[in-house]
Chains A and B, each alone.
Chain A
Amino acid sequence: GQNIDQPTEMTATEGAIVQINCTYQTSGFNGLFWYQQHAGEAPTFLSYNVLDGLEEKGRFSSFLSRSKGYSYLLLKELQMKDSASYLCAVEDSNYQLIWGAGTKLIIKP
């Protein structure tokens, strides 16, 4: 079956760096997405990786290793507003998105 694994919850300190991991087993691969979802709100797009390597976008970076079925989202200079759930999703060979359950990130002052 298809599976996306990511930690349920993580805690980090304001100003610090946190890495949220995502491992996947899917029927084919057409890209990996990270979305941010604040409590009670809609998910919003953060990043997309289709080739191996690191994609940097401001304080957020996303890494992909297709051979290992692994990605991480790196958040630097954490701010209180980064408290949210982070959703990992993989587009399979049928162009369907398979979603992880999300990682709830708690930022402490």
Chain B
Amino acid sequence: TAGITQAPTSQILAAGRSMTLRCTQDMRHNAMYWYRQDLGLGLRLIHYSNTAGTTGKGEVPDGYSVSRANTDDFPLTLASAVPSQTSVYFCASSDSSTSGANVLTFGAGSRLTVL
């Protein structure tokens, strides 16, 4: 089934440890995004990539890094996790190269708890 695969589904992490959330899409979408979703808040963009080889900072980039070595993969790394990074993380992709609505397809999410 075409779509976005995120791993892990959930993870408990000790503060200060590093963690990489993986995201792979098979739709050949040019644009990919990482969001975090916290109770009572809208989705907040962490980092994005409009095309392979380029990345950009979103609304809440501090403490996170990304890379886009190829079209399909867009991993999100927490170098030194802190409890405020406890959240549900969603990876998304879109085909922003065509005209019309830039519709996002989301992965199933990764629930991260930092203790």
Contact = CB atoms under 8 A, between A and B. Distances in A.
Contacts of A43: 43, 90, 104, 106
A67 to B, nearest CB: 21
A40 B16 CA distance: 27
Interface stretch (A13-21, A68-76, A94-102): A94-102
Interface of B: 40-45, 58, 90, 96, 101-109
B102 A45 contact: no
A45 B42 contact: no
Given A41-B108, A42-B109, A91 B42 contact: no
A4 interface: yes
B98 to A, nearest CB: 13
Contacts of B102: 31, 91, 95
Contacts of A4: 42
Interface of A: 4, 8, 31, 33, 35, 41-45, 48, 50, 87, 89, 91, 95-102
Contacts of B109: 41-42
Contact of B106 (A31, A33, A44, A102): A44
Given A87-B43, A101-B41, A42 B106 contact: yes
A95 B42 CA distance: 17
Given A42-B109, A89-B42, A101-B41, 17 more contacts: A4-B42, A8-B40, A33-B103, A35-B104, A42-B90, A42-B106, A43-B43, A43-B90, A43-B104, A48-B101, A87-B42, A96-B45, A98-B42, A99-B42, A99-B43, A99-B44, A101-B42
Contacts of B108: 41-42
Q: Which of A4, A35, A87, A101 has the most CB of B within 10 A?
A: A101
Nearest to B4: A42
B43 to A, nearest CB: 4
A83 B23 CA distance: 28
Nearest to B108: A42
B86 to A, nearest CB: 16
